[in-house]
Amino acid sequence: MTPDSIPKLLRAGELARLCGVSTDTLRHYERVGVLAQPRRSQAGYRLYPAEAATRVQLVRRALRLGFTLAELARILRARDRGGAPCREVRALAAMKLEQLEVRLADLAGLRDHLRDLLADWDERLKRTPDGVRAGLLEVLLKRPSRIGEM
């Protein structure tokens, strides 16, 4: 659907389908403040302006980058009031990158630890006759871990 082919007002189900979310997600976005409360039709249907589709897509992409709904609500509220929260957005993204780098380093350490552990277990299994415990799990208690407790 192109922007020109989107109706001026969308019912909740239409907006949800267009954006690939559920109507519950739309209601949640309204509650947390990242999506404006829609007007209602005479029959009580929630009616969203076509621009709401762009907002929902922006929120979904920002969430995938690690922004929280609370952060997005604060940023979007400032922007909707005419503010320019660009520096805050950039600072938050930089912080998220830093957190991701730490997480990736932790995961790399975990990967290396598991590789070493598997190599150790393979050696133990080679030396252990079938049907006899090789004590693989007990190694976890004896062997020092290079990673923090998870």
Using alpha carbons, list the distances in angstroms from residue 32 to 36, 70, 93, 103, 107: 10, 7, 20, 27, 32
CA 140 to chain centre: 32
**CA separation for the pair 40, 110 (Å, rounded):** 52
Query: Is the CB of residue 23 less than 8 Å from the CB of residue 64?
Result: no
- Tell me the pTM: 0.76
Please check the confidence at residue 25 and state whether its pLDDT lies above 90: yes
Q: Can you list the positions of beta strands (E) in the chain?
A: 9-11, 39-40, 46-49
Please check the confidence at residue 112 and state whether its pLDDT lies above 60: yes
> What tokens appear for 9 in the block?
């007002």
Q: How many CB atoms lie within 10 A of CB 52?
A: 23
Share of the chain above pLDDT 70, in %: 90
**Digit-coded pLDDT (tens) for 89-108:** 999 999 999 999 999 999 99
What Rg, from alpha-carbon coordinates, does the chain have? 25
Give φ, ψ of 12 to 5 degrees. -55, -45
Q: What is the DSSP letter of 5?
A: G
**Digit-coded pLDDT (tens) for 121-147:** 999 999 999 999 999 999 888 876 655
Please check the confidence at residue 3 and state whether its pLDDT lies above 70: no
**Digit-coded pLDDT (tens) for 35-65:** 999 999 999 999 999 999 999 999 999 999 9
For residue 27, give the nearest of 1, 8, 48 by alpha carbon: 48
